[in-house]
Amino acid sequence: MNRNPTPQSPHLNDDETAFLRDRLKAVDSYIIRLENRLNAEEDVDSPKTQALFRFHNAYLRLHIALKQHETKIQQKKVEPAPPLTTQQTPPKQTRVEQASPLAFQDMDAKTGAVPALANTNPVPQNILTFAQNTLEITLFPHQQQLCLSQKRITILVAGRGAGKSVAARVVALHHACSRPHHTVLVVSSGQRMSSDFGGKLLDLLRESPLRDLAVKIANEQVKFQNGSEIKLLPANPDTIRGYHPKSLKKKRGMTIILDEACYMERGDDIRKAVEYALITTPHDLGRLYIVTSPTSIHSWVHDYALLAEKPETGVEVIQCASSANPNITPAEIERLRATKNEHEFRAEVLGLWVDSAFSLFSGLIEPNIVALQDHPLSVSASPREKNECAPLPPQAVYALGADLALSFSQSHDRNALAVVAKWQLDPSDPDSEFRYRILEIAILDQASDHEIQSTVTRMKEQYDLQFAAIEHYQGKALAEHCQSQQIETELAAPTSGNQQMIFHEMHRLLRQRLLELPAALPSLFFEELRAFEYRREADGRITFGHPGGGKIHDDTIYAVAWALHAVNRIECNPPHHPTPPLIQFIPKI
């Protein structure tokens, strides 16, 4: 980088000039040391490189401040100040005249010459100009619509990747920097989302001229010289309720941004807290922005969006798909269509509200049903006979899945055990895909522990089971029995994260026709498979299970899903080392 030499005018020797020259020399030495250390590095994203960029900018700002100060001193020498009278007091001295943060943008890149400084405002009142010039962000039409909205409540419902949070960060920074004594609350759906939104907002702040307007930058709060602040909060209605404009005499306002609002666990409580926070704010000083991907039509955000049909409510709704971002190509949209089920694709890509329930395996069952090599055996054939009719390759591995219940009636949940086989289509090619087959499903109504354990013992002898995944509810005794049979066992908790994992995998195998469903499996299994539902709750959570009403259950589906989970824990021809049962908890997503 070419830097101007530090000015050495002999007639400018006041304390302020000396201070600025010392700062320039210190920053210059830092730059030289960093450049020497970075000669062999090409990674522009490394911390050292980023530090070098920051020092370059600091050098330019100091250089401008020094030029401004020298100009003022020269003007004072030309026009000496009038002598002080007894009533006059000397003006208060300041250490450094604040340089305009954007002034160095016009510096000549080759010579480093500084032009005459103009009154450049880093926070133009037009938010689109602010985004383009100050933050160097070009907003897409739906983002511009959000930023320019004058409604009391603005809702942006869009697919993933459409840039919802980017537009919300522009709004947060512009409102805080352009409106004195303004409070901006950013509420995210969880701690991780809050950290992600806040981290990117702080990056925007540090990498733009706005950093010189901030007096405090922390992970959860930013304060500015104009008395405004940005607060970054997780979704906690008790915390939100404590914020409101403290003094209307000073024209204090408030902007509240709810990021991924559909995924807030206590969404309705948060809505009430937000309304209370805005109730004491004048219409022109209070705004609520809701940005989210859509979920169920039972979400509170969906109900809020319906208010836009009534003009007197002051609600504006902007809705678009992921493709509103021109950087997302049609090929990527088609890839997402192929990898997601109908509910996910409609909500997360098309940006559309969905009904709460959806048959997870609809259209995927019949293509995976296989006959047992056209053998004339009836459905009543024993599992051993069925297996003999459909021989599996010798490298196949076998696992058990179990879903147990405390049942006192046939209308209650059942005990279900499932055995699944897995084998590689081409063992000589380590990258070849695996195939799976459900070998047996045992349905045990109101069975005793002894009956269940005897069935597992028989399965162990018949299939040489290597691994078992047993749902931990009512499963401890069976897990201990499996261990005694030298079956490596996992006690698995059906948490939200675990359920998403096992049923997404089962859906993938059926979608790709990799899971064989022998036609001779119990008819009850096929009934439960066809009725099994995927639900997107009002708060965005994903749940799985049987339809309401109690006529059809889901015990065999869970048993198969746990068996698939277990068989995927087995490598082909692995060393067998049984370990004690493990209860595995996966946190909620």
SS3 labels along 248-269: HHHCCEEEEEEECHHHCCCHHH
Residue 77's pLDDT band, with cuts at 50, 70 and 90, is: low
Pick the most confident of 352-366, 453-467, 492-506.
453-467
pLDDT confidence of residue 271: 81
Percent of the chain with pLDDT over 90: 34
Q: What is the pLDDT of residues 104-120, one digit of tens each?
A: 333 333 333 333 333 34
Ranges of each domain in the chain: 1-80+100-119, 127-349, 366-584
Mean pLDDT lowest for which of 10-14, 102-106, 547-551, 567-571?
102-106
CA distance 547 to 529: 11
Which amino acid, 457? T
**Region 64-88: what's the mean pLDDT?**
60
- DSSP lists the bridge partners of residue 490 as 469
Which position has the higher pLDDT, 574 or 332? 332
Which position has the higher pLDDT, 278 or 47? 278
251: left (phi over 0), alpha (psi -120 to 50) or beta: left
CATH number assigned to the domain covering 127-349 = 3.40.50.300
Which position has the higher pLDDT, 9 or 336? 336
pLDDT confidence of residue 16: 63
Residue 27's pLDDT band, with cuts at 50, 70 and 90, is: low
Residue 455's pLDDT band, with cuts at 50, 70 and 90, is: very high
What are the DSSP calls for 498-531, one per residue?
HHHHHHHHHHHHHHTT-EEEETTS-HHHHHHHHH
- The number of angstroms, rounded, from the C-alpha of 221 to the middle of its chain's C-alpha atoms is 21
**pLDDT over threshold 60, residue 78:** no
Question: Residue 258's CB: how many other CB atoms inside 10 A?
Answer: 26
**pLDDT over threshold 70, residue 133:** yes
Which position has the higher pLDDT, 551 or 332? 332
Residue 93's pLDDT band, with cuts at 50, 70 and 90, is: very low
Q: Residue 211 contacts by C-beta under 8 Å, 6 or more apart in sequence?
A: 101, 205, 217
Mean pLDDT lowest for which of 46-60, 281-295, 465-479?
46-60
Which position has the higher pLDDT, 249 or 530? 530
Phi, psi (5° rounding) for residue 350?
-80, -15
Coil, strand, or helix at residue 528? helix
Which position has the higher pLDDT, 268 or 550? 268
Q: What is the pLDDT of residues 149-191, one digit of tens each?
A: 999 999 999 999 999 999 999 999 999 999 998 999 998 876 6
C-alpha torsion 343→274→126→317, nearest 10: 30
| CA nearest neighbour of 175 among 6, 289, 304 | 289
pLDDT confidence of residue 429: 83
| CA nearest neighbour of 409 among 439, 458, 445, 462 | 445
Size of the chain, expressed as the number of residues it contains:
589
pLDDT confidence of residue 235: 79
pLDDT confidence of residue 59: 67
b/e code 344-360 from CB counts within 10 Å (16+ = b): bbbbbbbbebbebbbbb
- DSSP lists the bridge partners of residue 292 as 157
pLDDT confidence of residue 106: 36
pLDDT confidence of residue 583: 45
> Selecting from 3.10.20.30, 1.10.1530.10, 3.30.420.240, 3.30.565.10, what CATH number does the domain 366-584 have?
3.30.420.240
Q: What is the pLDDT of residues 406-438, one digit of tens each?
A: 654 555 568 999 999 999 888 888 788 899 999
Residue owning tokens 């405002």:
121
CA distance 223 to 230: 7
Coil, strand, or helix at residue 430? coil
What are the DSSP calls for 20-39, one per residue?
HHHHHHHHHHHHHHHHHHTT
Q: What is the pLDDT of residues 213-266, one digit of tens each?
A: 999 888 889 999 989 999 988 777 777 776 765 555 566 789 999 998 888 877
CA distance 347 to 349: 6
CA distance 260 to 299: 12
| CA nearest neighbour of 518 among 368, 353, 401, 348 | 368
pLDDT confidence of residue 480: 93
**pLDDT over threshold 80, residue 210:** yes
- The number of angstroms, rounded, from the C-alpha of 470 to the middle of its chain's C-alpha atoms is 31
Which position has the higher pLDDT, 341 or 405? 405
Q: What angle do CA 183, 184, 187 make, to 5 degrees?
A: 135
Q: What is the pLDDT of residues 357-410, one digit of tens each?
A: 677 887 789 899 987 554 333 444 555 444 444 578 888 999 999 998 865 455
pLDDT confidence of residue 111: 35
What are the DSSP calls for 569-589, one per residue?
TPPSS---------EE-----
**pLDDT over threshold 60, residue 22:** yes
294's tokens:
């859509």
pLDDT confidence of residue 539: 59
